Amino acid sequence: MVPFGGYQGVSRMLDRPMELGPGQTGTMALVAKPQPTSPPASHPRNYWLFGGLVSIGALAIAGTAWWLSGTGSTIQYTTAAVTRGAITRAVTATGTVNPVLTIIVGTYVSGVIQDLSCDYNTQVKRGQICAKIDPRPYQTVVDQNKANLAAAKAELDKDKASLAYAELFYERMAGLSKTNAVSKDSLDNAKNLLDQARAQAGVDEAVIAQRAAQLATAQVNLDYTNIVSPVDGTVVSRNVTMGQTVAASFQTPTLFLIATDLTKMQVDTNVSESDIGEVKEGNKALFTVDAYPKRTFEGIVSQVRQSPQTVQNVVTYDVVVSVDNSDLALKPGMTAANRVISDQRTDVLRVPSQALRYAPGGQRNAGGKTEEPRVWAMRDGKPLAVPVTAGLDDDSFVEIVKADLKPDDRVIISEQRDAAKTVPRPRL
């Protein structure tokens, strides 16, 4: 047997036949030809690891797709049309309807109401007697002062007669003094009597003037017992009754309220300090009252009063709105819901105010930066941001001064997300 000596020797032995001489015998072992050397085979676990990674990746992709499909939603947009119309900016406030001029009729003197000739809604004229206080106490004072005046006049007449006698006596004594028939002292005494008579006449005249003034005062008090209307107008309030005693000692009592002209009224409106800057004289005002809910009254701001009114730390200002009341529909004291128009535009391009506040997905002013005003318009079924230049705003519509918009365009004012399907979310 040929020993196994290597791949190459064996190869040569196999490639050629063995030759034998005559009479020789031999044996030969056949050895298989070895195969060429090849790299070792991979371990089976590597195939399992690779297959597991591929499976996990496929499951992750499928799970992500399933998650997205399970949470998918559809967006429904609420839109409004771009229109042309009016925009009115107004200040709202409440007020009270009052006559332009209300006269408070009181009394200067005290006493008992003896007569009443005016009542509610009575049309009165200037100087007309509306009530009368018992005049007897005041008439007595007048009569007494008349008597005192008459006595003073009589005293003056008496003293005037004494003055005339004193003048004659002095002239007589002066003539006798020239002939030395009387002493110088007698002449001086006569002169003194004359001066006293003249002074007494002056005192009497002063007393007469004093008594005349007292009489006039008493007459004024007597005249004040007649309560008269100082103006032409309508009695809107009566606060006394027949037989009632009124006392004017410390405070003048109010007997009547008389409105001068109820065809011209005014609304005293309380405007807050945050809105008073927008109100100017001449602004148009619209208001309604509960008595006529379907009727709108028009007026003009005639006065913006500077005096503040503070109630519980709330500061308001009185804005007077003048209104015509020819049909006497408005009554004093009615509560008016007032709208003072501070600015107005007509026939302008406008969009709803919500359109400028809308942003997709509710995201607005990201990063705290000031964004350019814009609206989202529907173009080919998709939302498109359109920059705008906004003008007047009345809280309902905003004027569009400049923008790539035209009437009947649709702008988005809100959105609503609806779940497309209710597939449970997978848990990986």
338, 95 in Cβ contact below 8 A? yes
Q: Predicted confidence band at 309 (pLDDT cuts at 50, 70, 90)?
A: very high
Residue 337 predicted with pLDDT over 50: yes
DSSP string, 356-425: HH--GGG--SGGGPPPPPEEEEEETTEEEEEEEEEEEE-SSEEEEEEES--TT-EEEEEEEEEES--PPP
Residue 23 predicted with pLDDT over 50: no
List, in order, residues 6 or more apart from 267 with CB less than 8 Å away. 95, 96, 97, 98, 285, 287, 299, 320, 321, 323, 336, 338
Helix or strand holding residue 145 (H, E): helix 136-178
Residue 48 predicted with pLDDT over 80: no
* Residues 73-104 pLDDT 10s: 578 888 999 999 999 999 999 999 999 999 99
Q: Which of 22-26, 111-115, 182-186, 391-395 is predicted with the least confidence, judged by mean pLDDT? A: 22-26
Question: Distance between CA atoms of 125 and 115, rounded to whole angstroms?
Answer: 18
Q: Predicted confidence band at 423 (pLDDT cuts at 50, 70, 90)?
A: very low
pLDDT at 165 (0 to 100): 92
Question: What is the mean pLDDT of the segment spanning 140-167?
Answer: 94
Domain ranges of the chain: 1-34, 95-100+262-344, 102-238
Q: Predicted confidence band at 198 (pLDDT cuts at 50, 70, 90)?
A: very high
- CA distance readout (Å), 239 to 86, 104, 149, 196, 255: 50, 11, 39, 59, 5
Please tell me whether residue 83 adopts helix, strand or coil conformation. strand
Residue 217 has phi, psi (to 5 degrees) of: -60, -45
Question: Distance between CA atoms of 346 and 83, rounded to whole angstroms?
Answer: 12
Question: What is the mean pLDDT of the segment spanning 45-70?
Answer: 65
pLDDT at 180 (0 to 100): 85
Which fold is adopted by the domain 102-238? Helix Hairpins (1.10.287)
Report which of residues 110 and 49 the model is more confident about.
110
Angle at 202 between CA 201 and CA 207, to 5 degrees: 95
pLDDT at 45 (0 to 100): 58
Residue 362 predicted with pLDDT over 80: no
pLDDT at 381 (0 to 100): 82
Q: Predicted confidence band at 10 (pLDDT cuts at 50, 70, 90)?
A: very low
Which fold is adopted by the domain 95-100+262-344? Elongation Factor Tu (Ef-tu); domain 3 (2.40.30)
245: amino acid identity, one letter: T
Residue 326 predicted with pLDDT over 50: yes
Report which of residues 360 and 274 the model is more confident about.
274
Q: Which of 10-19, 141-150, 297-306 is predicted with the least confidence, judged by mean pLDDT? A: 10-19
pLDDT at 340 (0 to 100): 95
Residue 6 predicted with pLDDT over 50: no
Helices (H), 224-288: none
From the list 221, 264, 259, the residue with the least C-alpha distance to 105 is: 259
Question: What is the mean pLDDT of the segment spanning 271-298?
Answer: 95
